[in-house]
């Protein structure tokens, strides 16, 4: 599997998907700030937990968008180059992490 810290690969997310991901991340950042305020205001635990789950689901959606982009670009290109087995191994590893 490729080490992200040393990988020469770059994210090849199309501009529209990048815009959507950026919007979602800004929204998640706002949710996290809201969580901090809720704690400072000593809000009811269940209300805070509901917001935690909302932020978590937002991150899952970002992950799905990035995974789809990866499949459409990097994995497809690797298969066409004949590097399918390595791409499949990397894909299996990331899917395993997603499923935990």
Query: In CATH, what number is assigned to the domain containing residue 71?
Result: 1.20.58.1000
The pLDDT score that the predictor gives to residue 15 is 92
Q: Judge whether 6 lies within some domain.
A: no
The pLDDT score that the predictor gives to residue 90 is 93
Q: Judge whether 28 lies within some domain.
A: yes
Contact 20, 66 (CB under 8 A): no
The pLDDT score that the predictor gives to residue 98 is 82
Contact 47, 39 (CB under 8 A): no
The pLDDT score that the predictor gives to residue 4 is 45
Q: Judge whether 2 lies within some domain.
A: no
Q: Residues 6, 22, 71, 96: what is their CA dihedral angle, to the nearest 10 degrees?
A: 70
Write out the residue range of the structural domain in which residue 71 sits.
15-99
Q: Judge whether 65 lies within some domain.
A: yes
The pLDDT score that the predictor gives to residue 58 is 97
Helix/strand/coil for 2? coil
The pLDDT score that the predictor gives to residue 85 is 94
Residue that the structure tokens 């996290």 belong to: 32
Question: Looking at the 3D structure of the chain, how many domains does it have?
Answer: 1
pLDDT tens-place values along the chain, 100 residues long = 454 444 566 768 999 999 999 999 999 999 999 999 999 999 999 999 999 999 999 999 999 999 999 999 999 999 999 999 999 999 999 999 888 7
Whether the full predicted model's pTM is greater than 0.75, yes or no, is yes
Q: Judge whether 9 lies within some domain.
A: no
């Amino acid at each position: 599997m490729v080490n992200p810290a040393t990988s020469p690969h770059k994210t090849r997310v199309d501009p529209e998907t990048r815009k959507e991901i950026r919007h979602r991340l800004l929204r998640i950042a706002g949710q996290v700030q809201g969580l901090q305020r809720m704690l400072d205001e000593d809000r009811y635990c269940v209300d805070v937990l509901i917001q935690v789950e909302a932020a978590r689901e937002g991150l899952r959606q970002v992950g799905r968008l990035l995974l789809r982009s990866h499949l459409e670009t990097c994995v497809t290109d690797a298969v066409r180059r004949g590097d399918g087995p390595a791409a499949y191994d990397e894909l299996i590893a990331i899917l395993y992490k997603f499923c935990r």
